[in-house]
Structures are given as C-alpha cells and as structure tokens.
Structure 1
C-alpha cells in the first residue's frame, strides 16, 4: 500500500478543498493510505473531512514568518515516511513543499487550482519551489498554459487533470427549467472579489423585465458589502443571500439560469454542478471556463466586468427560453461524460502509481 500525504494551508470554502475531500473519500483504500496535513488555523470545513474519516494533522502555523513550520512538518514527514507528498495552493506548495524536500520524500507533486497572480513575491517563491517537484497537475488547459508561459514550468512536468464532481449528487435526468413566471437567476460560490458577484448584481439592476429574482448562494468576506450594494441599488427585495451552506444542491431548484461572473477562475466547478442540474449557463470567458462552455452552443460567455453584455445575455434567455433549454441539455450531456469525479480519481491513482515506478 502506498502512503499519500496531502498538504494544504487551510480547509476553506473552495474548489481546491472540494477536490482534496473527494480524493480522500474516493481513492482506492486497498492501494493508497491517505492523510492531510493542515498548516494553519481557521478551518471552516474541517467537519466535512472529519465526517469522512480523513486523518488530519494540524500544525497551527503562528504567522507568515513562522519559519519553524518547515522543520516541524519535515520531522513529521520523516516519521511518517510517505511515498508521495501532494501539495495544494500557495501555503501547501511553499511551506509544505520545502518541508517535503527537507525530509527527502521520494515524490512531491502539486495541483495548481487557479490562474490567479499571487503577488510578486509569492509568484517568485511559488515558481521556484514548484520547479523542484516531479509533477504539477493543472486543473484546466488554461492553468497548464499559465504554468508553462508565466511560471516557466517545463512542459513535461505539467499534466492536465480536470476537476470533477459527484455526478450522482447533482444530475437531474429530465430537468424542468423556465416553468416560472419570472426570470430565476442564481450564482454559487465564495463571496470574494475574484468571483465578481458585484457585477452580476449591477447587471440585474438594468434588466428591462422587472419580474426577476436572484439567489446568491455562499458566504465569504464580501457578504455584507454585496448585501449593502443591493440595498443601495434598490433591488434588495429581488435578491436572496443564503450565506454559507453545507449543501448547495437544494438551491439549484430555485433558479433556471446560472451565472458565474468570475474575474479569474481555474475551471469553475459550480458551472459543472449547475449544468448537471440542468441549468442554463452564462459565464465569463476566463481560465478554464471556455473548456466547459462553448459560446452560443452550450451556453453564453462574456468578458469579465462587461455588464452590458451580461444584461444582453440575460435578456436573450428571457426571450428565447426554448432555445436556451436545448442548449442547457446539450451542455449537461457533455459535462456528464467529461467531469465525473470517479474518472478524475482514477486519473490521480494512475498518476501516483506511474510516479512510483
């Protein structure tokens, strides 16, 4: 049995943590023993990992200058003797990666979950450490391009493995959309700057048809600011903010059009979930999103922050519901085939074993 230890900064709300949880839950337990090192405190979704029976080791990193974390983690890795250390996000890559190198772990890999610039010094440090890993997994071709062109990672070290979701949780066999007497819009994700929810709220202000509702699912640092924006624009009665929820699935029943207005995105797991639920997709054409949605064929895309085009897309859906439903069904079929988490896990298992040969 091969021992895999994942390292991540925090267990927060996000696609990286979703993938990590799925890897821990669904990997073949007869072939792999899996555990997770968490470097920092404030872990809002730790209960999900505990409920899944995932072995967790916390290191309570004191602050960004806590250099001793490298030695503490390295000592633990020497004791545990993992075959592979798999890091996630900047903290996992930099602090966890340095510890794994110090402990002389045989194989060190990382999954790159986004194409965000992490700031000049973080970009430099992350780039230097990731180059010393045996393999970096990109969650989309856009992420792969970022790694090769921006971070200068050698092409042969990068492998694309798309993120996926548990299709059985979200798939609706015969979706019934556009049965309401109003335009039902929704978005799901962490309420943060890069997710761009404020642009969607502004766009709704300009809809000619006043019969619309928007459901904003998720929590995050901008929750109060976005609610205040809705009040300032005089449209707060049309908008429902759910706050953080453990299970987003019930909320997909509350809307027909899913909008992801992200300024930056690695892939867009929420698009996959919404599509499986049969929703029509409108999203920005950033990161890996065009690898999921084909503009004017399986959904509608627009440039980030382009509120005028977003309004036009929403108006088009409201006036062309039959065509929109057909496009939504086409995307659902594609997503069902391409983004099944069980296929994703299989690819990771094959990668782990190939690196240990």
Structure 2
C-alpha cells in the first residue's frame, strides 16, 4: 500500500499545541504515513522529533506583516505541490487560514484542521472562519469548542469531530508524589504562556486576596508561575505592587513541567478561554487538586467539588475562595486529587488521541484518494 503523504502545519508554538503535534509525529503509523512537519526552523532545537520526520520551513506565525504572511502562503503552496501532499493537517487558527487557502490553490486532496483553542472576537478567528468551511474535517479538542465553531461559522455537524487532548501517562509515572504532607507549607502552581488570554493577572490578584485574608494563617503559602511571554514585566510589576515579592515566584519557560507539578500541592488554571489544557490533565493524572476557570473544555474533565473546583473567569475573589478551600480542607482536596487521577488516567492517554486522529485521517484517505 502506498504511504499517505501527510503535512502537519503548525506555527512556531510552545506549550500544549506543540506537545500535541509531537505526540502525533511520534505515534502515527510510519508504515501508513510519510510525515512532513511544516514549521519555523528557528526553534527546531526545542522539538522532540524522530529522524523519519522531514521538516520544511514556511515560518508560519513569525511573519505577522501582510508581506510576511504572503511569503508564508506562497511557501506553503510550493511545498504542497513539490511534495505532492495527500493530506494537509493544520493546527490552530492562523495555520488553518494559511494552510487551507494554500491547499485550495495547490489542489491538495484532503484538508483537515485541529483547533486547540477558540478565542472569541479575535482577528485570527475571523480570518480562519472564512476558510474552515473548505476543510473536509475540523477537529476540536472539546465538545464546547465544537458547539461554538458550528454555531459561529455555520459548519455542518458532520464536518466536526471531537478528539480530546491526550497526555503521556508513561512519562508521568516517575513524577508521582504523595498527597500534601507538610503542614507548614503549601504551594499553588500556574502553568501558562504570559499572554492576556491566560488570566495570569487574575491568579496574582487572587493570591494577594488570599494572603490578605489569611495573614495570620500558620502556613507558608507560595505561588509559582511557570511560563514566558510578552506580559512578563507587566505581571512582575503587578506582583510587586500588590506586595507579593518573595511570595509569587516567576520560573520562566520550563521544560521540566512534570517535576514542577509533582512538587506542587495544587494547580490553578486561570484562563479566559481554553481548549483542553494539557497541564490541567497532567496535574489531574498526578493526583493534584485542580482549580480551573469554567471555560472551554475544562468542565468536560473537571467536575466541580468532585475532581477539582471550577470558578468563573476574570474573578479574583472567586479564585481566591477556591484556593482557600483547597488549603483549609486537605481531606477534600486529597479526595478531589484521587478522583482527578482516575479520570485523567482512564480517558486521556496520548495513545487514545493519536489512534483517533489516525483513524479519522485513514477514513478520509479511503474516501478521497
């Protein structure tokens, strides 16, 4: 059987989207697919790639000017034609817009997009919306996102497929740690890119409210922020203004996320919008109590009061209240962590995600090639 030539298209990404693509590059059957990765070569040293995966460069994502985006578009058209690609699989809104348009011009037989997040009122969303209807399938990582995409862009339900994110359960095993044992300390961890949509400022404000309320509480409470991004200085200034120097620790971009989660006592996800956070699933798989905003796919995995706590987005007081509850009720927090571990490990392994994507791609190839 002739191998299917698959082009995976992703902007210069970090975090969950990048790890999702890495799982696909490692897990898809190399006897069935010849895989090419289209991304920026400038940061290839941060990717975990197999030698069998060919890499081409169209610099999608780091050319933000009209001229730069045009160059990325024509590079993508050229690559699709030269490589005689059977399936283009775009990741994210920007890659979807450019990749779908290029595939239509190049005559690529099958077009697929995976949407990892769906920020509303975003220029990328409006641009991508013009092209999503030309995709053979649109994969979303949560039911909520599928509903929103279908309603906003009038996409037929049969074109939408929900495939939840998956996590590397085998690699997580060695980072298992016991439930909170030290009664004298407690640490909250936030793992986010430092951009407006992640609500890290809300986490910092909630931390200040919590410390103000528990000023005489006999526990050393610390807050850790793992991530980098354009808001770093602004967020550090906010922490300083709120008197949190020495309490809120900025760790920068971290590659040892599993270790950080294992050493923390609870994970806090304060995003304004979310697809389905890998960090959230990883913390759950490690048995940590989680606090997350009630957005996107979060309610599909976090059952409030059972496997974590959900709070409204952009609400520091509600977030501080949830953090206080986790801190003051260790038995309930441990039970939530145990339930979270079971949910994540039973339903969200990366192998399950890769199998679902592979089956979808093979079905499309059978119908269209």
Residue 174 of structure 1, CA deviation:
6.3
Q: How does 1:175-254 map to 2 (within 5 A)?
A: 175-180=177-182, 181-207=184-210, 208=214, 209=217, 211-254=220-263
SS at match of 2:47: helix
Residue 118 of structure 1, CA deviation:
5.3
Distance 1:115 1:247 in 2: 27
Residue 106 of structure 1, CA deviation:
1.0
Distance 1:153 1:170 in 2: 37
Q: Residues 254 and 346 (structure 1 numbering): CA distance in 2 closer, same or farther, change over 3 Å? A: same
Distance 1:308 1:221 in 2: 25
Distance 1:72 1:184 in 2: 47
Question: Residue 58 in 1 paired to residue 65 in 2?
Answer: no
Question: Residue 319 in 1 paired to residue 328 in 2?
Answer: yes
Distance 2:71 2:324 in 1: 56
Aligned residue pairs total: 352
Contact 1:285-1:303 at 8 Å conserved across structures = yes
| Residue in 2 that maps onto 1:144 | 146
Q: How does 1:111-126 map to 2 (within 5 A)?
A: 111-117=114-120, 119-120=122-123, 122-126=124-128
Q: Residues 197 and 29 (structure 1 numbering): CA distance in 2 closer, same or farther, change over 3 Å? A: same
| Residue in 2 that maps onto 1:102 | 105
Q: Residues 64 and 217 (structure 1 numbering): CA distance in 2 closer, same or farther, change over 3 Å? A: same
Q: How does 1:340-355 map to 2 (within 5 A)?
A: 340-355=349-364
Distance 1:232 1:254 in 2: 28
SS at match of 2:190: strand
Distance 2:347 2:48 in 1: 29
Distance 2:299 2:17 in 1: 20
Q: 1:274 aligns with which of 271, 283, 295?
A: 283
Residue 175 of structure 1, CA deviation:
3.9
Residue 87 of structure 1, CA deviation:
0.8
| Structure 1 residues without counterparts, runs of 5 or longer | none
Distance 1:346 1:55 in 2: 21
Q: How does 1:76-95 map to 2 (within 5 A)?
A: 76-95=79-98
Q: TM-score, with normalisation over the residues of structure 2?
A: 0.90
SS at match of 1:235: coil
| Residue in 2 that maps onto 1:48 | 46
Distance 1:174 1:89 in 2: 32
Residue 9 of structure 1, CA deviation:
2.7
Distance 1:323 1:349 in 2: 39
Q: Residues 166 and 60 (structure 1 numbering): CA distance in 2 closer, same or farther, change over 3 Å? A: closer
CA root-mean-square deviation: 1.9
| Residue in 1 that maps onto 2:36 | 35
Distance 2:59 2:139 in 1: 27
Distance 1:92 1:285 in 2: 27
Could you report, residue by residue, the CA deviation over 1:72-117 in whole angstroms, capped at 9, with x for unpaired residues?
3222211211211001122211111111111111111000111202
| Structure 2 residues without counterparts, runs of 5 or longer | none
Q: Residues 184 and 20 (structure 1 numbering): CA distance in 2 closer, same or farther, change over 3 Å? A: same
Distance 2:180 2:48 in 1: 39
Residue 177 of structure 1, CA deviation:
2.1
Distance 2:122 2:200 in 1: 22
Contact 2:189-2:264 at 8 Å conserved across structures = yes
Q: Residues 70 and 239 (structure 1 numbering): CA distance in 2 closer, same or farther, change over 3 Å? A: closer
Residue 345 of structure 1, CA deviation:
0.4
SS at match of 2:126: helix
Distance 1:128 1:266 in 2: 21
Distance 2:334 2:109 in 1: 50
Residue 338 of structure 1, CA deviation:
1.0
| Residue in 2 that maps onto 1:17 | 18
